[in-house]
Amino acid sequence: MVTTRAHLITYGCQMNEYDTHLVQSQLVSLGADIVSSVDEADVVLINTCAVRGKPVEKVRSLLGDLRKIKARRPLVIGLMGCLAQLDEGQQIARAFGVDIVLGPGSLLDIGRALEGNERFWALNFRDELHGHVPPPPQGTLQAHLTIMRGCDHHCTYCIVPTTRGPQVSRSPDDILRELDMQLAAGVQEVTLLGQNVNAYGVDQGAQLAGYPSFANLLRLVGQSGVRRVKFTTSHPMNFTEDVAAAMADTPAICEFIHLPVQSGSNRVLRRMAREYTREQYLKHVADIRRHLPHAVLATDIIVGFPGETEDDFQDTLALYDEVGYDSAYMFIYSPRPGTPSYTHFADLPREVKTERLGRLVARQKEWSARNNATKVGTVQEVLLRGDAHSSGFLEGHTRGSHPTVVPHAVGADRPGVYRVRIEHATPHMLYGRTVDTAGHDLPLIPATVDTARPEAAALTAPLPMA
């Protein structure tokens, strides 16, 4: 490959972040340099999301800017990922003069795409992608690890089966080999990724010979020596109590589970083709609580799905109260061309969807504030990733994925896993101080603390004498 300076931009989920790392590693192995800005690059690759309309509009806007740059100097523009797999994305690519189009199953073609001087399009689902083991990320304590690609469910609102194809589980040997490489690179927290991790090893309805269940894969990963294990995302249809049991009996697995419900109304769930009922979902929650009384639960909810009535929405609010989620990803329904709901259902007025979303967000903030307040005074294990936006603070997250900020302290002024006593909480953030194994505060480094932060005074003031 001719020396290339490539800049990659990612929209969407953690799977897309993993795929971007895969493409970056391919480019580096071919002699390319990865640069940090469009201004430095002669190749710009956009890894796209197509689940909702908003990311698509962001891509359109970005492509408009890149087309202006390309008019002034040589620039290769590539569109990758889910949007690239759709007719909609390919029409956008033609309209904006995109040079390279790679679907999610063709990312290993990036080298061939950059060799020629003509437009290159690849939209096949290639088997070798599933067995490819990328090198581990460098200089980070966190890593993603894809255990499967695609999805065998066909929720009426979802474009993923079209963009990523049917489910294909990676072999346990490839998963554990990649994990070993990540651990050797210093990774301490691994997140297992899949469109539906609970269905691991059962592709297109058939159990794969020699593949463990997802619960047993969790146990294998948790016994590898990794410090923390998380996973996303879980489909309630395939959730089993053994997953909760594996979480409880494997200390490395964090007590955090993301279990999308999408709606609290059985009528809406049927229209979504979610394949479970409200009652079945709540039984899963009860199973989780029985094995993990202090489990942290997060979810996804779509507001304003076609045909949703006020009574249906009230069912969602009531379920939110029954579960008491720590956090939620909440969206108004976004009609996506190519999905059954787009073809067969009439959309609700936007003002109805927006008003309901506002009420749900308010309910979520109440529960997040309530749940976070219970952490005040406790000591949490926090993975601090690096400097926060304000000088003198580090940011990270607990085992339960609560965002956490602490001031720099002696021996705790760089990324790592630390014990943190939580001293202040808001609906969306925990604030605390790092402590030693005996629970004593580590001395602060006051010269680096930005005292303009509202929370800084509470975190840096001397503790009252007993």
**For the chain, the helix, strand and coil percentages under 3-state DSSP, each to the nearest 5:** 40, 25, 40
In this prediction, residue 412 carries a pLDDT of: 92
In this prediction, residue 58 carries a pLDDT of: 96
233 prior amide bond cis, ω within 30: yes
In this prediction, residue 118 carries a pLDDT of: 79
Model confidence at 429: pLDDT above 60: yes
Q: What is the pLDDT of residues 214-237, one digit of tens each?
A: 999 999 999 999 999 999 999 999
DSSP code of residue 208: P
Residue 441: CB atoms within 10 A of its CB come to 13
Instruction: Outline where DSSP puts E strands in 284-441.
Output: 296-303, 327-332, 379-387, 393-398, 403-407, 416-426, 429-435
Model confidence at 461: pLDDT above 50: no
Rg (CA), the chain: 23
In this prediction, residue 463 carries a pLDDT of: 33
Give the separation between CA 313 and CA 200, rounded to whole angstroms.
32
Mean pLDDT of 81-98: 96
pLDDT band at 448 (very low <50, low <70, confident <90, very high): low
Residues of the chain with CATH 2.40.50: 379-460
In this prediction, residue 447 carries a pLDDT of: 55
pLDDT band at 446 (very low <50, low <70, confident <90, very high): confident
Residue 254 is labelled as binding a ligand: no
Find tokens 């300076």 and name the residue: 5
Give the separation between CA 162 and CA 141, rounded to whole angstroms.
33
CB 45 within 8 A of CB 7: yes
Q: What is the pLDDT of residues 371-420, one digit of tens each?
A: 999 999 999 999 999 888 878 899 999 999 999 999 999 999 899 999 99
Select from 1.10.357, 3.30.460, 3.90.1420, 2.40.50 the CATH code of 379-460.
2.40.50
Residues of the chain with CATH 3.40.50.12160: 5-124
pLDDT band at 466 (very low <50, low <70, confident <90, very high): very low
Q: What is the pLDDT of residues 269-278, one digit of tens each?
A: 999 999 999 9
Find tokens 């033609």 and name the residue: 94
Among the listed ranges 37-46, 114-123, 305-314, which one has the minimum average pLDDT value? 114-123
Model confidence at 430: pLDDT above 70: yes
Q: How far is CA 218 from CA 31, 175, 202, 462, in A?
A: 36, 11, 15, 43
Q: What is the pLDDT of residues 162-199, one digit of tens each?
A: 999 999 999 999 999 999 999 999 999 999 999 999 99
Model confidence at 307: pLDDT above 90: yes
Model confidence at 465: pLDDT above 70: no
Report pTM.
Answer: 0.92
pLDDT band at 2 (very low <50, low <70, confident <90, very high): low
Element (H, E) at 78: strand 76-81
Quote the mean pLDDT of the chain.
93
In which order are the strands placed within the sheet that holds 142-146? 142-146, 189-193, 228-232
In this prediction, residue 123 carries a pLDDT of: 86
Residue 299 has φ and ψ, to the nearest 5°, of -150, 175
DSSP code of residue 312: H
Closest CA to 268 of 316, 323, 325, 207: 316
Model confidence at 459: pLDDT above 70: no
Q: Identity (one letter) of the amino acid at 152?
A: D
User: What is the assigned CATH class of domain 137-371?
Assistant: alpha beta
Model confidence at 259: pLDDT above 60: yes
Among the listed ranges 59-63, 115-119, 274-278, which one has the minimum average pLDDT value? 115-119
Give the separation between CA 307 and CA 267, rounded to whole angstroms.
9
Find tokens 């190519």 and name the residue: 338
CB 400 within 8 A of CB 420: no
In this prediction, residue 219 carries a pLDDT of: 98
Closest CA to 407 of 397, 418, 394, 419: 394
Model confidence at 456: pLDDT above 70: no
DSSP code of residue 201: T
The CB-based long-range contact list for 283-289 (8 Å cut-off, 24+ gap) reads 284/236, 284/239, 284/259, 285/259, 285/323, 287/241, 287/244, 288/244, 288/257, 288/259
Give the separation between CA 391 and CA 55, rounded to whole angstroms.
31
Give the separation between CA 196 and CA 342, rounded to whole angstroms.
23
Mean pLDDT of 112-116: 88
Residues of the chain with CATH 3.80.30.20: 137-371
pLDDT band at 313 (very low <50, low <70, confident <90, very high): very high
Among the listed ranges 93-102, 129-138, 304-313, 323-332, which one has the minimum average pLDDT value? 129-138
Give the separation between CA 194 and CA 200, rounded to whole angstroms.
8
Closest CA to 151 of 111, 187, 196: 196
Select from 3.40.50.620, 1.10.1740.10, 3.20.20.10, 3.40.50.12160 the CATH code of 5-124.
3.40.50.12160
Percentage of residues in the chain having pLDDT higher than 90: 88
In this prediction, residue 449 carries a pLDDT of: 52
Q: Helical H runs in 53-126?
A: 53-72, 82-85, 87-95, 110-115
In this prediction, residue 391 carries a pLDDT of: 82
In this prediction, residue 14 carries a pLDDT of: 93
CB 108 within 8 A of CB 120: no
In this prediction, residue 453 carries a pLDDT of: 52
